[in-house]
Amino acid sequence: MEKNLLNRELAPLIAGSLRQASHVLSQHYRRASIAYLVLLFVALVVYLATMPVGSGDTDLWYHMNGGRFLAETGTLPDRAFFSYVDPERGWVNYFWGFQALTYQVHAVFGYEGLIGLRVVLVTIACAAIAGILLHRQDDATQRALGIVVLAFVVMVLVGRAEQIRPHLVSYAMIPTFIYILGYRRSWLPLLPLLTVLWINLHGTEWPVGATVCGAYFLEALWSRHRGHANPDAGKVMLWSALCLPAMLLNPFTYRIALAPFSFPADIYGYIAELQSYPLESLLSIQLNGLFVPLISAIALLGWLTVGGWLRLFLLGRHPAAVLIMSAIGVALLVRGNRFIWEWMLLTLPLWRSTVDTIRPRTDDALPARTGIGQILLIVFAVSPLAGWAEALNSRQQWPVDTQNLPMGITRFVQDHDVSGRLLTPPNYGGYLAWQLYPDVLISGDMQIPPTATWDHFMVFAAMRDADALARVLGKYDPTLVALEVGRANSGELLGAHPEYVPVYFDDLLVLYVDSVRLPGLTEKHRLRHVNPFNLLDDKLGSVDERLAELERVLASQPDGRRVQHGITKLLYDNKRYVEALSFAEGFATSHPWNPNGHYLLGSTLLQLERCGEAERHFARAVAVAPEDFEAEIYRKRGECAYQLKEFRQAFDAFEHGLSPYQRSEDAEYLYQFALSAAAVGKTDKARMLLRQLLLEASAEQQLLADRAQALLDDL
The pLDDT of residue 537 is above 80:
yes
Residue of 129, 127, 122, 198 whose CA lies nearest to 161: 122
Residue of 192, 138, 210, 190 whose CA lies nearest to 360: 138
Task: Give the chain's mean pLDDT.
Answer: 91
The enclosing H or E element of 421 equals strand 420-423
CA-based torsion, 627, 633, 639, 645: positive or negative: negative
How far is residue 669 from each of residues 616, 636, 638, measured CA to CA in Å?
20, 9, 8
Q: How many CA atoms lie within 13 A of 635 on its CB side?
A: 16
Residue of 275, 269, 366, 301 whose CA lies nearest to 25: 366
Which residue type sits at 440? V
Average confidence (pLDDT) over 317-343: 93
Query: Do the Cβ atoms of 192 and 243 come closer than 8 Å?
Result: yes
Residue of 481, 405, 403 whose CA lies nearest to 61: 405
- CA distance linking residue 432 with residue 61, whole number of Å: 8
Q: Report pLDDT digits (tens) over 466-523.
A: 999 999 999 999 999 999 998 889 999 999 999 999 999 999 999 999 999 999 999 9
Phi then psi for residue 436, to 5 deg, are: -110, -20
- CA distance linking residue 526 with residue 510, whole number of Å: 12
DSSP assignment of 523-565, as one string?
Answer: HHH--SS--TT-TT--SSS-HHHHHHHHHHHHHH-TT-HHHHH
Query: Do the Cβ atoms of 701 and 669 come closer than 8 Å?
Result: no
Confidence (pLDDT) at 26? 58
Distance of CA 406 to the CA centre of its chain: 17
Query: Do the Cβ atoms of 115 and 49 come closer than 8 Å?
Result: yes
Residue of 406, 549, 388, 541 whose CA lies nearest to 486: 406
Crossing angle of helices 96-133 and 59-73, rounded to 10°: 130
Residue of 432, 436, 435 whose CA lies nearest to 444: 432
Confidence (pLDDT) at 57? 83
Query: Do the Cβ atoms of 49 and 392 come closer than 8 Å?
Result: no
The pLDDT of residue 371 is above 60:
no
Q: Could you give the residue ranges of the DSSP H alpha helices within 339-485?
A: 340-346, 348-356, 372-392, 407-415, 429-436, 453-462, 466-476
Cis peptide before 349 (omega within 30 of 0): no
Q: Report pLDDT digits (tens) over 133-181.
A: 999 999 888 998 999 999 999 999 999 999 999 999 999 999 999 999 9
Average confidence (pLDDT) over 105-122: 98
**Is residue 315 helix, strand or coil?**
coil
Q: Could you give the residue ranges of the DSSP H alpha helices within 204-264?
A: 206-226, 233-247
Crossing angle of helices 96-133 and 190-202, rounded to 10°: 130
- The DSSP 8-state label assigned to residue 84 in this structure reads S
The pLDDT of residue 657 is above 70:
yes
Band of pLDDT at residue 24, cut at 50, 70 and 90 = low
- The DSSP 8-state label assigned to residue 371 in this structure reads -
DSSP assignment of 611-675, as one string?
Answer: HHHHHHHHHHHHHHS-HHHHHHHHHHHHHHHHHTT-HHHHHHHHHHH--TTTSPPPHHHHHHHHH
Distance of CA 69 to the CA centre of its chain: 28
Confidence (pLDDT) at 391? 85
- CA distance linking residue 560 with residue 562, whole number of Å: 6
- Cα angle 297, 302, 306 (rounded to 5 degrees) comes to 145
Confidence (pLDDT) at 376? 74
Q: How many C-beta atoms lie closer than 10 Å to residue 139's C-beta?
A: 18
Query: Do the Cβ atoms of 287 and 386 come closer than 8 Å?
Result: no
User: What radius of gyration, in Å, describes the C-alpha atoms of the chain?
Assistant: 31
CA dihedral 302, 307, 312, 316 (to 10 degrees): 140
Percent of the chain surpassing pLDDT 90: 78
Confidence (pLDDT) at 2? 44
Band of pLDDT at residue 407, cut at 50, 70 and 90 = very high
- CA distance linking residue 513 with residue 23, whole number of Å: 70
Beta bridge partners of 288: 291
- CA distance linking residue 516 with residue 253, whole number of Å: 49
Query: Do the Cβ atoms of 596 and 565 come closer than 8 Å?
Result: yes
Band of pLDDT at residue 6, cut at 50, 70 and 90 = very low
Question: Is 204 buried (19+), middle (13-18) or exposed (0-12) by CB count in 10 A?
Answer: buried
Going by their DSSP bridges, the two strands 509-514 and 440-442 should be labelled as unpaired
CA-based torsion, 359, 365, 368, 374: positive or negative: positive
- CA distance linking residue 708 with residue 714, whole number of Å: 10
The pLDDT of residue 7 is above 90:
no
The residue that leads in pLDDT, 17 or 242, is 242
Candidate from 37-46, 174-183, 221-230, 604-613 with smallest mean pLDDT? 221-230
Average confidence (pLDDT) over 600-617: 96
Average confidence (pLDDT) over 354-360: 87
The residue that leads in pLDDT, 275 or 635, is 635
The enclosing H or E element of 142 equals helix 140-158
Confidence (pLDDT) at 54? 86
Largest alpha-carbon pair distance within the chain? Answer: 101
CA dihedral 410, 412, 415, 418 (to 10 degrees): -80
Which residue type sits at 2? E
- CA distance linking residue 1 with residue 3, whole number of Å: 5
Phi then psi for residue 511, to 5 deg, are: -100, 125
Band of pLDDT at residue 373, cut at 50, 70 and 90 = low
Beta bridge partners of 292: none
**Is residue 340 helix, strand or coil?**
helix
Confidence (pLDDT) at 1? 41
Average confidence (pLDDT) over 594-616: 97
Percent of the chain surpassing pLDDT 70: 92
